[in-house]
Amino acid sequence: MTQSFADLRAELLRNPAVRAEYDARAGEFEIASELIAARLRAGLSQEQLARRMGISQSAVARIESGRHWPSRATLLGYAEATGARPVVRLVPLQAGVVPLRGSR
pLDDT digits (tens, 9 = 90+) for 45-92: 999 999 999 999 999 999 998 877 889 999 999 999 999 999 988 888
How far apart CA 81 and CA 36 sit, in angstroms, is 12
Whole-number mean pLDDT of the chain? 87
Percent of the chain, pLDDT > 70? 90
How far apart CA 78 and CA 13 sit, in angstroms, is 31
More confident: 82 or 98? 82
Residue 28 has what pLDDT? 78
Stretch (H or E) spanning 50: helix 46-53
Is the Cβ–Cβ distance between 35 and 27 less than 8 Å? Answer: no
Evaluate if residue 104 carries a pLDDT over 50. Answer: no
Is the Cβ–Cβ distance between 42 and 84 less than 8 Å? Answer: yes
Between helix 16-24 and helix 26-41 the angle, nearest 10°, is 60
